[in-house]
Amino acid sequence: MTKPIISIRNVTKRYPGVVAVDNVSFDIMPNEFFALLGPSGCGKTTLLRMIAGLETSGTGDIIVDDQNMEGVPANQRPVNMVFQSYAVFPHMTVRDNVAYGLKVTGVAAAERAPRVEEALEMVQLGSMADRKPDQLSGGQRQRVALARALVKRPKVLLLDEPLSALDAKLREHMQLELARLQQVIGITFIIVTHDQDEALSMADRIAVMEKGGVRQIAGPEELYEKPHSRFVADFIGKINLIDATVSGVSKSGVTCKAKGLGEVIVPHDGEASGNVSLAVRPEKLVLSAEPPASGSDISARGVIRDVAYYGDVSNVFVTCSDGLELAVNVQNDRAAAGLLENGREVYASWHPSDTLILQE
Amino acid sequence: MESWKQNKAVFWVTALPGVVWLLLFFLIPLALIWGMSFGEKTSIVDIEITGTLANYLRSFEAVYVKIIWKSIWISVISTAVCLAIAYPIAFGICFSPARWRPLLLLLVILPFWINLLIRTYALIAVFRTRGTLNFTLEWLWDLAFLDKLVGPYQPLELLYNNGAVIVGMVYVFMPFMVLPLYATIERLDRSYLEASLDLGASQWRTFFSVTVPLTMPGIVSGIILVFIPMLGMFLVPDLLGGTNAIMIGNVITDQFKAANDWPFGAALSFLLMYVTFAALAVRAFIGSRMKGGVGV
């Protein structure tokens, strides 16, 4: 087993009146693309800044490449950061910005020049080296910030919401670009984001944070398919959460009484008791005019309340009995034609194994 | 900015009081003095504008050039000292807790609430031979038994020299330096400083390579706000400088009052203004080069 490049051990950071980071521990492996994901105020940026050494006076240990960072100031840590605002120095040219980190640490000019050119080429800014930042677009400024951090050859690159200021198209492009860069350079990237699509598409592993704590750490697929809690299920993608009460556990699964569905049997590995949530992704649901042929499917009869058309798919909201609201993702193929009308009576059904039981 | 064209009446009504004020109390008097600088005294009260350059030529006599030169270097030193003291103050206020900031700024502005003359006399009370500072030093001297070992304390001659003028000017103009610096430092995005540290720069390096260049507009404004009025200052050198620390401001006041030579006073005043205009032009030139320059 390889040794982790970063170990976070019982890290806590308090501000007056709030716990920003609450006893967090996890490891990040070399060459990993790791995402810290969570809503604003969950402590993800604080944790990143603690790794960078910009936020001090926390407790616990941050170990980077076997070296405890306790008491090591920001300017001596083997990590570099891409700031949310990019913080590209406006009074320096692109080249001077990239060279800055080498200059201040005494790298000789002869060594500096080729490294700067190499970093600029890496982010495709070679032709803009003599421009000032105010002559660059937002995307280009971000590339400068990237090159400026990468030229230092850090062991870990920290990215604080790097794509949040870019428009949707550029953001998508930069997501691929960052993933490519990370593969080419082969160092660890830690990205902070509140955008789940960003985390899912780029990261090898994601830590979902809420109120200063880590709720779940897993790969994108596992996080999406097997969330451990209501919070994670709800935060990652869209999901239907149905209140239910467990009435029995048997070999074939957990029997529960669910709101609007009556008695259902759901396959489940772990423990389950009392009040739970049944969680099912909207794309697992199927809409049909007739009751489903397979008797084992969970199904609910309801009325289409709203159809949101997105071109390739439609989000359909179905109101069922007992106040149960279900969101259904429907591919806009021939089968869906004619079915998706407001007020139409439909059956929403899905396979029991697509259902997750989330303990409250 | 186009809207004033559509609403000319409103534009003129709002602009008129200011224009009239500037015309009556600034431009016309200035023009009178400017005209006078090319004039000659014909009697004790009469001045005839003859277009003569004699007043300006007289300004270049060695005695006046020496005083102008002295005014410039005293102002340069005072401005530099002002900047060196004001920058940490402004920085400290910006980085202090938000609820302390209004109070700290108030402390900087507070001296404005007291008449300049009174404040300057207070400085005399502090610095004279039998003043607060000398008494304090004497007390410390005795406390360290230096009076037994070395001999009795000799009071320091702190007043009526160039040093006293510099101290007085720095004291008077400090707020004009702190406020523009505060305004720019406060707007400075701290992530620039963090980025510099993150890239491996020391605190000092960050200060000189990032903080100072990025707060240059505030530094320049502060220097202009402080240097120009220092150049023409007459009250402080008059009170603290005695006879041997005379500055150009004192010479000008003397021409208008004791010497009753308004044309020469006018010429000296405008000489000072030409110097100021030249300094502002240089600054504007540097400013435009810094902004527009691609790989200068």
Contact list, B205 vs chain A (CB under 8 Å): 104
Instruction: Give the pLDDT of residue B4.
Output: 65
Q: What residue in A sits closest to B294 (Cα-Cα)? A: A131
Contact list, A54 vs chain B (CB under 8 Å): 194, 197-198
CB contact under 8 A, B200 and A105: yes
Instruction: Give the pLDDT of residue B157.
Output: 84
CB contact under 8 A, A93 and B295: yes
The C-alpha atoms of residue B272 and residue B269 are separated, in whole angstroms, by 5
Candidates B33, B72, B63; CA nearest to B264 is: B33
Strand partners, B35: none
CB contact under 8 A, B200 and A90: no
Instruction: Give the pLDDT of residue A266.
Output: 87
CB contact under 8 A, B195 and A89: yes
User: Averaged over B253-263, what is the pLDDT?
Assistant: 89
pLDDT of residue B101 exceeding 90: yes
CB atoms within 10 A of CB A103: 19
User: Averaged over A244-256, what is the pLDDT?
Assistant: 86
pLDDT of residue B2 exceeding 80: no
User: Could you tell me where the DSSP H helices lie in chain B?
Assistant: 3-6, 8-22, 28-36, 54-59, 62-94, 101-109, 116-127, 132-143, 146-149, 162-187, 190-198, 203-206, 212-214, 216-231, 235-240, 248-256, 262-292
pLDDT of residue B3 exceeding 80: no
- Helix B101-109 vs helix B62-94: crossing angle, to nearest 10: 160
H helix or E strand, kind and range, residue A304: strand A298-309
Instruction: Give the pLDDT of residue B170.
Output: 94
CB contact under 8 A, A74 and B295: no
Contact between A74 and B194 under an 8 Å Cβ cutoff? The reply is yes
CB contact under 8 A, A87 and B210: no
pLDDT of residue B294 exceeding 50: no
CB contact under 8 A, A91 and B194: no
pLDDT of residue A340 exceeding 80: yes
User: Averaged over B8-32, what is the pLDDT?
Assistant: 90
Beta-strand pair A79-82/A156-160: parallel
CB atoms within 10 A of CB A145: 26
Instruction: Give the pLDDT of residue B245.
Output: 65
More confident residue, B12 or A119: A119
More confident residue, B77 or B5: B77
Contact list, B194 vs chain A (CB under 8 Å): 54, 74, 81, 83, 87
Instruction: Give the pLDDT of residue B293.
Output: 39
Q: In this predicted structure, which of A131-140, A238-247, A302-311, B45-54 has the lowest mean pLDDT? A: B45-54
Instruction: Give the pLDDT of residue B226.
Output: 94
What is the average pLDDT value for chain B, to the nearest integer? 88
CB contact under 8 A, B189 and A84: no
Q: Which CATH superfamily is domain B62-292 in?
A: MetI-like (1.10.3720.10)
Q: What residue in A sits closest to B213 (Cα-Cα)? A: A91
The C-alpha atoms of residue B180 and residue B220 are separated, in whole angstroms, by 9
pLDDT of residue B5 exceeding 80: no
* Cα torsion angle, A202, A6, A230, A276, sign: positive
What is the average pLDDT value for chain A, to the nearest integer? 89
Taking a contact as any Cβ pair under 8 Å apart, which residues of chain A between 82 and 141 contact chain B? 83-85, 87, 89-91, 93, 100-101, 104-105, 130-132, 135
The structural domains of chain A, with segments of one domain joined by +, span: 6-234, 238-359
DSSP-derived 3-state class of residue A328: strand
When pLDDT is cut at 50, 70 and 90, the band that residue A261 belongs to is confident
Candidates A222, A232, A238; CA nearest to A283 is: A238
| Closest approach of A4 to chain B, Cα-based (Å) | 22
pLDDT of residue A73 exceeding 70: yes
Instruction: Give the pLDDT of residue B173.
Output: 93
> A238-359 sits in which CATH class?
mainly beta
List the structure tokens of A330.
């429907």
Q: In this predicted structure, which of A126-140, A306-320, B2-16 has the lowest mean pLDDT? A: B2-16
CB contact under 8 A, B209 and A104: yes
User: Averaged over A215-234, what is the pLDDT?
Assistant: 91
Contact list, B191 vs chain A (CB under 8 Å): 83-85, 87
CB contact under 8 A, A75 and B209: no
Contact list, B292 vs chain A (CB under 8 Å): none
Residue position matching structure tokens 């198209």: A169
Contact list, B198 vs chain A (CB under 8 Å): 52-54, 74-75, 80-81, 149
CB contact under 8 A, B199 and A76: no
When pLDDT is cut at 50, 70 and 90, the band that residue B81 belongs to is very high
Topology alike, domains A6-234 and A238-359: no
Which one of B99, B187, B189, B198 makes the best mutation probe of the A interface by having the most chain A beta carbons within 10 Å? B198
User: Averaged over B105-134, what is the pLDDT?
Assistant: 89
CB contact under 8 A, B295 and A73: no
Nearest 5°: phi and psi at B118? Answer: -65, -40
| Closest approach of B97 to chain A, Cα-based (Å) | 13
CB contact under 8 A, A100 and B196: yes
- CATH number assigned to the domain with residue range A6-234, chosen from the 4 options 2.40.160.40, 3.40.50.300, 3.30.450.20, 3.40.50.2000: 3.40.50.300
pLDDT of residue B244 exceeding 70: no
Q: What residue in B sits closest to A99 (Cα-Cα)? A: B199
When pLDDT is cut at 50, 70 and 90, the band that residue B292 belongs to is very low
Beta-strand pair A213-218/A240-250: unpaired
Q: Write the pLDDT tens digit of every residue in B124-181.
A: 999 888 888 888 888 888 888 887 888 888 888 888 888 899 999 999 999 999 999 9
Instruction: Give the pLDDT of residue A319.
Output: 92
pLDDT of residue A209 exceeding 70: yes
pLDDT of residue B290 exceeding 70: no
